[in-house]
Amino acid sequence: MPELPEVETSRLGITPHLQGQTIKAIVVRTDKLRWPIPQELQQLVGQRVQSIRRRAKYLMIDTPEGSAIIHLGMSGSLRVLDEEVPSAKHDHVDLALENGKVLRYNDPRKFGAWLYSEVGVAHQVLSKLGPEPLTNEFNSEYFAEKAKNKKTVVKQFIMNNAVVVGVGNIYASESLFMAQIHPKTPVGSLKASQITVLVAEIKKVLETAIKQGGTTLKDFNQVDGKPGYFAQELKVYGRAGKECPVCSSKIEEEKIGQRNSFWCGKCQFLAED
């Protein structure tokens, strides 16, 4: 599933092609993705694209009339193509521009979304999200207050979008490894020093992934069709049974909250150890 760095990479990729351009047409080839595609999207035709923003894993294409909200789901991707390029299987939505380019949305599993938001109205999918991890709002003091007296394991805690957005499964495992914290540690038992380190590592891991173009998974490619490169830097995720890059112990794997989790039993330890 594309995570925050992949979505941010998509935003950076499409922005030069869309910003300042006028929307000529919106072609919808399927009625429903994760949710029905609203007819209100057609109100954006004839509007000039003012900006492309990201909130959590959602992209917003803003115009004076309103915004298109896009979620890539598990297998969605965006490409900027010449409008004469024929659509292919699973190409569900085209946003055609007057400059002859088209933003094309492909999604084999149809778990993504195209939604509409009026100007000045926050869509309900964005209403209960926590702070962005790369902002000053997400800091050790905020984390400590949210974690206070909670028994939730730390991996599930940092993957909770109501706490902080965009720390998905891959980056949660990587950040916890870098912070030397076991993923099953009760978050309320973390020391202030551990929280400080973990917050810093979450930011660092995400920033590195964005810089390198997102993580290469079987369903993700950048807007130009090239794969991301952060997978070359993964320390524990997807490496069960392989040697830890620090101590050479075997990387362990277990489902935590229904998600595959990876860690080093020697480098990462529970808070009470």
- The candidate with the shortest Cα–Cα distance to 75, out of 113, 29, 111, is 111
Is 3 catalytic? The answer is yes
Q: Which of 54, 57, 155, 235 is catalytic?
A: 57
pLDDT value at residue 232:
61
Give the tens place of pLDDT for each residue, 136-170: 999 999 999 999 999 999 999 999 999 999 999 99
Indicate the fold that domain 4-126 takes in CATH: N-terminal domain of MutM-like DNA repair proteins (3.20.190)
pLDDT value at residue 273:
41
Is 186 catalytic? The answer is no
pLDDT value at residue 253:
97
Q: Which of 55, 203, 250, 259 is catalytic?
A: 259
Give the tens place of pLDDT for each residue, 213-243: 766 544 455 667 665 655 667 899 999 999 9
SS3 15: helix
Q: Which of 2, 5, 133, 183 is catalytic?
A: 2
Lowest-pLDDT choice from 33-42, 118-127, 246-255: 118-127
Q: CA dihedral defined by 16, 19, 21, 22, rounded to 10 degrees?
A: 140
pLDDT value at residue 244:
97
pLDDT value at residue 213:
77
Is 2 catalytic? The answer is yes
CA 215/CA 209 separation, integer angstroms: 7
Lowest-pLDDT choice from 68-77, 120-129, 156-165, 215-224: 215-224
Question: Averaged over 86-111, what is the pLDDT?
Answer: 96
pTM: 0.88
pLDDT value at residue 120:
86
What DSSP character marks residue 166? S
Q: Which CATH code of 1.10.260.40, 1.10.10.10, 1.10.3720.10, 1.10.8.50 fits the domain covering 140-264?
A: 1.10.8.50
Is 201 catalytic? The answer is no
Domain ranges of the chain: 4-126, 140-264
In degrees and rounded to multiples of 5, residue 77 shows phi and psi of: -150, 155
Q: H helices of 48-168, where?
A: 140-147, 154-158
Query: Dihedral sign, CA of 58, 61, 62, 65?
Result: negative
Give the tens place of pLDDT for each residue, 3-31: 898 899 889 989 999 999 999 999 999 99
More confident residue, 188 or 209: 188
